[in-house]
Copies of this chain bind each other. A is one copy, B any other.
Amino acid sequence: MAYGKHVTEILYGGDYNPEQWPREVWEEDMRMMRKAHINVVTLNVFSWASLQPSEDIYDFERLDEIMGMVRDHNLKVCMATSTGAHPAWMAKRHPDILRTEANGMKRKFGGRHNSCPNSPTYQKYAPRLAGLLAERYKNYDNIVGWHVSNEFGGECYCENCEKAFQQWLKKKYGTIEEVNRSFNTAFWGHTFYEFDEIVLPNYLSEHFGEDRTMFQGISLDYRRFMSNSMMECFKLEYNAIKKVIPDARITTNLMGFYKNLDYQKWAKYLDFISWDSYPAPEDAPATIAMNHDLMRGVNGQESFVLMEQTPSVTNWQPFNKLKRPGQMRLLSYEAMAHGADAIQFFQIRRTVGACEKYHGAVIDHAGREDTRVFREIETLGAELPHLKDILRARTPSEVAILFDWDNWWAVEYSAGPSIYLKYLDAIKDYYTAAFEKNVPVDIVSVEDELSSYKVVIAPLLYMTKTGVDEKLRMYVKNGGVFITTYFSGIVEEHDLVIGAYPGKLRDILGIWVEEQDALPEGEQNHFTYGGKDYPAKMLCDLMYLESARALSFYEEDFYQGTPVITENRFGKGKAYYVGTRSTAEFYRRFMENVFRDAQVYPVLNTPKDVEAAVRENSRGRYLFLLNHSKISRKIALPMDCEDMLEERAVAANSPIELPAMEVRIFRYK
């Protein structure tokens, strides 16, 4: 759930940084926001230096003034804690707050994401500021949320982190012998005798390139440790606020498929999920939706806040193309279709200096309300009140994709068989096939309950952590349909090989994979499926049937005639193994068959590039139709509906014209 139960409207607004402007501009900002139907601002994201000019001096005067003004203008507030970048004076006086890079380079003051998570200085001052803010503003009932730091991310390799890592390992493993076993240090004789012999895995030690490590075990644990270190920093601030305001709703803005942080672990400590969506111009609608679904998924499929998106352009991509007319609205509704309950922008007024001055904003450098972008924002702002019944509606999914950060890290640390093994590619293959069929998908963790799903897909499930095989075994036994792929079931949670592949999944899948043939770029094998020929790319598993039957066979090379896709009846369910990577066309066809067989039905059959998505709550069931194509499309509704934006009834089967980039939102009758 997003901003909490007392919020009864769809919040609309964004990051507002009046501290960058003289006071005379503020009133104009208020007028423009009102005109744009904005009702929420995120304040105080980057003011640490200003709030704390020195060790023990704090100055909230300007923030008081800002808070007073926005309350006077009936704006709700998402209150940031300002700890996303530390003050220059702090870096100078307490260099332990500065990070060290993977090549051992100790940083100086600059940028953001610049605090070492294991810095005593940071751990002291960040929660102290959060607590002081909570104390000072606890009585502002227009504060709908607290926003800790900003886009936690990056990593550190300083001496404090090294010591903390040694402690973390000691706590995790107990003995040095257990560390040695987990990292398989016997290989190359890296045996440790004391915890203080362990150094951080980076370019000074075990790493030799992007994601290239000589010891996967220690590198994996470093990722876990670093994600956890930052999470502990979040928790320090969280607790400081809660101590003052027990019912505060606290979040931090996440970043979708952000590799460094295991959001599935983080989400347990967030009161609600908020995230920043910055798709590249070339990102497909499915890719964008997949991010939303992940963000909904990390917190039990509850609705979330779209904390940031750009109204028009970004500034940091190589080519910062304008969002086309209608595109910002389309992307906003796509977010909502997948679970967003609030739509917010970065940023309200475009900054005049530093690296984001060419990043889009509600109020442009020209300061005019007749810009194309402002008018589109105003239009969307006027529509949202029609949709407030959708608040807290959920997505009814019968299909789950299993996603796991540990597995992501492990797959991409793997030395062999192919540098092209990319976890997100595999996830996207299957997600896109479902998306294009308008089949809603939940993206779940290995800890989530699976029994409610008809189909569970775990692409490239290389690592099977303790209990995962048993959960999947029970799921299939009880009638579930399970799909996994090449290079799955290989290792346990320390990245140690389990044995014959696919390890603990072998009985469920009914196969033994003997070898994996990694194809060089440009080479491929082929197979026939459903009467059509498809390429087998990147990796070809060579397998033997044990209890499974083969659905398709390799057509070339020395493994011609051996299985490539298998189906295994197991208990009341079925388990499929797809032993290679193929084309989007194949995944569409394959998933179509699986869905039909498993009685999973689309929300609606729509023309190409028109998305249909559904949310539902006690107030109704809502259908989103989004035309992602560049041409107008016709669609007939499955039943009598109410067009929520136009507030009029639409009869079942009456054809609806949906122009390019247009959106319609209906309530089922």
Residues of A within 8 A of B (CB): 17, 19-20, 46-50, 53-54, 82, 84-85, 87-89, 91-92, 103-112, 183-194, 196-201, 203-208, 213-217, 281-282, 312-322, 324-325, 350-359, 364-368, 371-373, 414-420, 494-497, 499-501, 512, 514-521, 542, 557-558
With beta carbons under 8 angstroms apart, the residue of B193, B351, B415, B497 that contacts A316 is B415
Please tell me how many copies of the chain the complex holds: 3
- Looking at A106, A321, A367, which has the most chain B CB atoms within 10 Å of its CB? A321
Once bound together, how far apart are the Cα atoms of A371 and B516, in whole Å? 13
With beta carbons under 8 angstroms apart, the residue of B108, B186, B216 that contacts A199 is B108
Q: For residue A18, give the distance in angstroms from its CB to the closest CB of chain B.
A: 10
With beta carbons under 8 angstroms apart, the residue of B46, B197, B198, B312 that contacts A187 is B46
**Cβ A351 vs Cβ B184 within 8 A:** yes
With beta carbons under 8 angstroms apart, the residue of B89, B104, B192, B198 that contacts A105 is B104
A-B contact pairs, 29 of them (CB 8 A): A17-B186, A17-B187, A46-B187, A46-B189, A47-B189, A50-B186, A54-B193, A87-B191, A105-B204, A109-B190, A111-B205, A111-B214, A112-B188, A183-B353, A215-B354, A282-B520, A315-B415, A322-B515, A322-B518, A324-B558, A352-B497, A353-B495, A353-B496, A357-B415, A358-B414, A358-B415, A364-B514, A366-B512, A372-B515
Main secondary structure of the interface of A (DSSP, over half): loop
**Cβ A87 vs Cβ B189 within 8 A:** yes
Knowing that A103-B105, A184-B352 touch, tell me 15 more A-B residue pairs with CB under 8 angstroms. Answer: A19-B186, A87-B189, A88-B198, A89-B197, A110-B199, A215-B353, A319-B520, A320-B416, A322-B517, A355-B415, A357-B415, A365-B500, A365-B501, A366-B500, A373-B515
**Cβ A108 vs Cβ B319 within 8 A:** no
In the complex formed, the residue of B with least CB distance to A318 is B419
Q: For residue A76, give the distance in angstroms from its CB to the closest CB of chain B.
A: 23
**Cβ A189 vs Cβ B313 within 8 A:** no
With beta carbons under 8 angstroms apart, the residue of B201, B354, B500, B512 that contacts A183 is B354
A-B pairs with lowest CB-CB distance, top 6: A184-B353, A110-B205, A315-B416, A358-B416, A366-B500, A49-B191
* Residues of chain B contacted by A207 (CB below 8 angstroms): 110
Q: For residue A462, give the distance in angstroms from its CB to the closest CB of chain B.
A: 11
* Residues of chain B contacted by A325 (CB below 8 angstroms): 558
* Residues of chain B contacted by A89 (CB below 8 angstroms): 192-194, 197
* Residues of chain B contacted by A85 (CB below 8 angstroms): 188-190
With beta carbons under 8 angstroms apart, the residue of B50, B312, B418 that contacts A318 is B418
Q: For residue A496, give the distance in angstroms from its CB to the closest CB of chain B.
A: 5
With beta carbons under 8 angstroms apart, the residue of B46, B313, B354, B416 that contacts A314 is B416
With beta carbons under 8 angstroms apart, the residue of B92, B106, B282, B315 that contacts A197 is B92
* Residues of chain B contacted by A87 (CB below 8 angstroms): 189, 191
With beta carbons under 8 angstroms apart, the residue of B203, B352, B367, B557 that contacts A496 is B352
In the complex formed, the residue of B with least CB distance to A46 is B189
**Cβ B520 vs Cβ A281 within 8 A:** yes
**Cβ B205 vs Cβ A108 within 8 A:** yes
Once bound together, how far apart are the Cα atoms of A312 and B417, in whole Å? 12
Once bound together, how far apart are the Cα atoms of A516 and B367, in whole Å? 16
Once bound together, how far apart are the Cα atoms of A207 and B355, in whole Å? 11
In the complex formed, the residue of B with least CB distance to A351 is B187
* Residues of chain B contacted by A355 (CB below 8 angstroms): 213-216, 415
Q: A497-B365, A499-B366 are in contact. Are A189 and B48 (CB under 8 A)?
A: yes
**Cβ A514 vs Cβ B417 within 8 A:** no
In the complex formed, the residue of B with least CB distance to A544 is B370
With beta carbons under 8 angstroms apart, the residue of B186, B314, B351, B416 that contacts A359 is B416
